[in-house]
Chains A and B, each alone.
Chain A
Amino acid sequence: MPRVISHTEVEALSEGATLTVEPDALVTPLALERAREKGVTVARDPAPTEESLIEAVVAKLVGSLGGSQAELTEVGPGIDFCQMCLEQERSRARSRAVLTTTGKNQKGIVARVTGRIADLGGDILDISQTLVGDYCTMIIVVDTASLDVPFASFKETLEAEIHEMGLQCMMMHEDVVSSLHRI
């Protein structure tokens, strides 16, 4: 069972210290807050690598199939089998985002926004841009499965770019739109 790190453990440390915890340890929000205040670094040791994660998944799979740790070596090519599962899981979770940009029309809106999406590794699946009077509305559906950066920073960067042009924007997961409007 993973260990729970609470704020009392952080408070027992001196300022600027490093708290090394197991990779699966649960660190509570208050513990993180106290760590920030005291300049304590929370490090996970050893940091989980891709291989160790895959091994853990395989072990869990073998376990759930009623196998033992000893049989694990026999799985061998099972690692591929496991990766296949992961791939399936990835493609099952659709990862498309809808970005809507609105505001006063100006030159280069589409160029700047789409350029930045490409920089970050997003793939544009659909795009539309209309003008009503001097008011511009652009809707872009982006495939975010192959982003070069985490989704959160993708969102943040684009929002900053768009706000810089004096425009409003909103990014939401495609599932929100489809669950609201499709049965």
Chain B
Amino acid sequence: MIYESDELRETLRMIEAEHLDIRAVTMGISLRDCPTDDLQRTCERVYEKITRSAARLVSVAAEVQGAYGVPITNKRISVTPIALVGEPSRASSYVPLAETLDRAGAELGIDYVAGFSAHVEKGITPGDAVLLDSIPEALSTTRRVCSSVNVATTRAGINMDAIAHMGRIIKNLAERTAAEGGIGCAKLVVFANIPDDNPFVAGALHGIGEADRVLNVGVSGPGVVLSAIKRLRASGRRIDLGDVAETVKRMAFKVTRAGELIGREVARRLGDGVRFGIVDLSLAPTPAIGDSVAEILEALGLERTGAPGTTAALALITDAVKKGGVMASSSVGGLSGAFIPVSEDHGMIEAVEAGALSLEKLEAMTAVCSVGLDMVAVPGWTTAETLSAIIADEISIGVANNKTTAVRIIPVPGKDVGERAVYGGLLGEAPVMPVSRFSSAEFIRLGGRIPAPIISLRN
């Protein structure tokens, strides 16, 4: 045989039984040629640019999926931060731009369009302010639009005024979408050190240093890693954590290779100047059984995710994933690491409900994996100041460690600890987690900027 039958069997097993898929092909579209001094005209240009650029995205992805036999789960679009696109119009609300993105997504058969975003790490321009004020209405009246706000970088420090504002925005957004458990907040991410080429929504955007149209790919595969670890442990050999790291590295290598192959092929078939961007290798769970990061941690011998040792185990996995990915492709980018969204991972949900996993432990885990407090539900009575303080804590982990961190938190209106908010689909179900009852209001009211840490001075 040209191929060993073991190789073929492994490939089949990865796709069929272990949910190996291309989680997202995301087309980044620059809207830098769209701003005008009239918002209506800007909207028309944005709509034209997006529909023209991505008209064939869904059909080409389906074609490649058919030809290669690897499922492509999501087709998405990210755009230039809308604060930059709207600013020249001097309009007082960017909701029409959000509606335009929503309409373009519907026209193209795409479920999420991300990039209703602003960078405010050092200060807020009039355009940024309009964008921030538009977020609650924009996300509660549209279905497909996702928003992200970068409130800090290691170079600039932390904009605490912006964080205070984000607490109020999240509160307002939750109340506007109260009927659906505050689902609007699931489409809003607050970032430190936001990447320019992340293909995973809700935090995707098309950075200003990117080419006109770029195709980024997000690969996942917690299921593949989980079964590899289970097979290793069942092999009967005496194994240690070094063997685990080696196994995860090998699997990450394979998953990344599949991602790059598919990404390059989709970009090639789209043609017309679309460039292949990056592969983001992230262990991104889905609500499906066996597709869980928590299960990987538990396969390493932790009774429940959140038990002492969880952070160490997660650090091992995340590092091994990165090393395998970097060996496989020279175009690794985005967030690349492990995601630990609570509502989207049944193992995480069970750990929370068993009392093993708290908000504080999650925060510690985010110091060693990608992203941060993701899809975390807290009681509806949580104040805006407490939300801001939770964000500030998480953001400072990112700033001090020169990494990306983010917060996607939902104060579920009318719900308290012990209840669940059900969103369905990939967003899953979020158990409401306990929040400290001690106030941080005075601290948040101080405002201003937390200066950049000493590690920012690297020149």
Q: A29-B58, A31-B107 are in contact. Are A173 and B52 (CB under 8 A)?
A: no
Provide the residues of chain A in CB contact with B258, threshold 8 Å. 176, 179-180
Q: What is the bound-complex CA distance between A180 and B6, given in angstroms?
A: 12
A172 within 8 A of B: yes
* Interchain nearest-CB distance for A134 vs B (Å): 18
Pick the contact of B66 from A126, A141, A155, A176 — CB < 8 Å?
Answer: A155
* Interchain nearest-CB distance for B208 vs A (Å): 24
Provide the residues of chain B in CB contact with A137, threshold 8 Å. 5
Decide if B69 touches A152 in the complex (CB within 8 Å): no
* Interchain nearest-CB distance for A2 vs B (Å): 8
B438 within 8 A of A: no
Q: How many residues of A contact B (CB 8 A)?
A: 35
B281 within 8 A of A: no
Decide if A4 touches B7 in the complex (CB within 8 Å): no
Could you mark each residue 79-116 of chain A with 1 if its beta carbon is under 8 Å from any beta carbon of chain B, else 0?
00000000000000000001010000000000000000
Decide if B11 touches A30 in the complex (CB within 8 Å): no
Q: What is the bound-complex CA distance between A170 and B69, given in angstroms?
A: 8
* Interchain nearest-CB distance for A4 vs B (Å): 5
A171 within 8 A of B: yes
B446 within 8 A of A: no
Q: What is the bound-complex CA distance between A151 and B109, given in angstroms?
A: 24
**Interface residue SS majority, chain B:** helix
Decide if A176 touches B107 in the complex (CB within 8 Å): no
Q: A4-B48, A180-B254, A181-B3 are in contact. Are A175 and B261 (CB under 8 A)?
A: yes
B8 within 8 A of A: yes
* Interchain nearest-CB distance for B107 vs A (Å): 5
A145 within 8 A of B: no
Category for how many chain B residues contact A: 35 or more
Decide if B2 touches A125 in the complex (CB within 8 Å): yes
Q: What is the bound-complex CA distance between A30 and B109, given in angstroms?
A: 6
Decide if B108 touches A173 in the complex (CB within 8 Å): no
Pick the contact of A6 from B51, B58, B257 — CB < 8 Å?
Answer: B51
* Interchain nearest-CB distance for A90 vs B (Å): 14
A21 within 8 A of B: no
Q: What is the bound-complex CA distance between A141 and B8, given in angstroms?
A: 11
Decide if A176 touches B261 in the complex (CB within 8 Å): yes
* Interchain nearest-CB distance for A8 vs B (Å): 9
* Interchain nearest-CB distance for B63 vs A (Å): 8
Q: What is the bound-complex CA distance between A52 and B69, given in angstroms?
A: 33
Provide the residues of chain A in CB contact with B107, threshold 8 Å. 6-7, 28-31
Q: What is the bound-complex CA distance between A151 and B2, given in angstroms?
A: 21
Q: What is the bound-complex CA distance between A152 and B7, given in angstroms?
A: 24
Q: What is the bound-complex CA distance between A180 and B10, given in angstroms?
A: 10
Decide if B5 touches A128 in the complex (CB within 8 Å): yes
Decide if A139 touches B68 in the complex (CB within 8 Å): no
Provide the residues of chain A in CB contact with B68, threshold 8 Å. 172-173, 175-176
Could you mark each residue 1-40 of chain B with 1 if its beta carbon is under 8 Å from any beta carbon of chain A, else 0?
1110101111110111000000000000000000000000
Decide if A29 touches B108 in the complex (CB within 8 Å): yes
Q: What are 5 inter-chain pairs, A to B, with CB distance below 8 A?
A: A4-B55, A6-B51, A141-B1, A151-B67, A177-B7
Interface residues of B (CB under 8 A from A): 1-3, 5, 7-12, 14-16, 48, 51-52, 55-56, 58-59, 63, 66-70, 106-109, 254, 257-258, 260-261
Starting from the known contacts A139-B5, A180-B257, 11 additional A-B residue pairs (CB-CB under 8 Å) come to A4-B51, A29-B55, A29-B109, A30-B109, A152-B67, A170-B12, A172-B70, A175-B68, A176-B69, A176-B258, A181-B11
The 7 A-B pairs with the shortest beta carbon distances in the complex, nearest first, are: A172-B69, A29-B109, A26-B55, A173-B68, A179-B257, A179-B261, A181-B7
